Amino acid sequence: MKENAASRVVFILLLFLNVSLLNGQSPPEKPKLVKCRSPGKETFTCWWEPGADGGLPTNYTLTYHKEGETLIHECPDYKTGGPNSCYFSKKHTSIWKMYVITVNAINQMGISSSDPLYVDVTYIVEPEPPANLTLELKHPEDRKPYLWIKWSPPTMTDVKSGWFIIQYEIRLKPEKATDWETHFTPKQTQLKIFNLYPGQKYLVQIRCKPDHGYWSEWSPESSIQIPNDFPVKDTSMWIFVAILSAVICLIMVWAVALKGYSMVTCILPPVPGPKIKGFDVHLLEISQPSRLVSMFQ
């Protein structure tokens, strides 16, 4: 009797499974963990992509444990990060700890789990774009006018504590141009741009990156109109021309000096000394007149 009852249960389950498969119902496909991101090492969020749901209502759960621990935890917040995400608040975030994260898809037909993702919060920092980007034209009395670009560090990244070394990338271009001019500034929150085209409207954006992590998104575009009478004289060019001229003059003087020395050597060659060892030139000078007298006698 027990064997018959067990056989009937198995038969009913197989029948139900066959009917479900014929109706296009199946276990969910394996979901995929896309990325995890922390704006400043204090919190982080992970996102996943669901697979096909098998034609049935499917629930997703994110579970994790810290490396070296056996206790499994479920995602503390499925709402803050948006759809298909898990948000870890300060309470649930630890740096220098490896998280092993998995997403599970469950419906009436079965369960599928993603490949595990190993996450160290220290290395997934992607800050917000820098804030308070401002543009201002400066006209010093004794110097060339310039565009002064200023900004503030990202609001959710604690740069004062020394946890981060932030570098910034600034790009600008005339409104109708296609190529951007880029500048890098480590740590600084301001930049001076001197060479600008008068009468042009310039667009400026900025982003930042910590020492460990990824570039932020570009900030919204800011713009400024350069006046038509904006000076474009570049004193550095004149300094370069002056230095180059001085170098050319020195080369010419040196060449002329070498050439003059060689000409004097050709016109007035030095008198060679006697080649016979032990020959006394002084005796030659004394004996030479008497020899001439004897030749004419």
Q: pLDDT band at 157, cuts 50/70/90? A: confident
* pLDDT tens track for 246-273: 778 788 777 767 766 555 555 556 655 5
Cα gap 123→291, rounded to integer Å: 105
Q: pLDDT band at 25, cuts 50/70/90? A: confident
The pLDDT score that the predictor gives to residue 2 is 44
Cα gap 190→195, rounded to integer Å: 16
The pLDDT score that the predictor gives to residue 295 is 46
Handedness of CA 67, 70, 72, 77 (dihedral sign): negative
DSSP string covering 99-122, please?
Answer: EEEEEEEEETTEEEEPPPEEEEGG
Please list the residues that pair with 150 across neighbouring strands. Answer: 134, 190
Domains 23-120 and 131-226 share a fold: yes
Identify the CATH number of the domain defined by range 131-226: 2.60.40.10
Domain boundaries, the chain: 23-120, 131-226
Highest mean pLDDT among 4-8, 16-20, 40-44, 100-104: 100-104
Q: How much is the average pLDDT of 193-220? A: 91
Specify the range with the lowest mean pLDDT, choosing from 26-40, 67-81, 143-157, 225-239: 225-239
Cα gap 134→27, rounded to integer Å: 54
Identify the CATH number of the domain defined by range 23-120: 2.60.40.10
Question: Taking the chain, what is the end-to-end CA distance rounded to the nearest angstrom?
Answer: 168
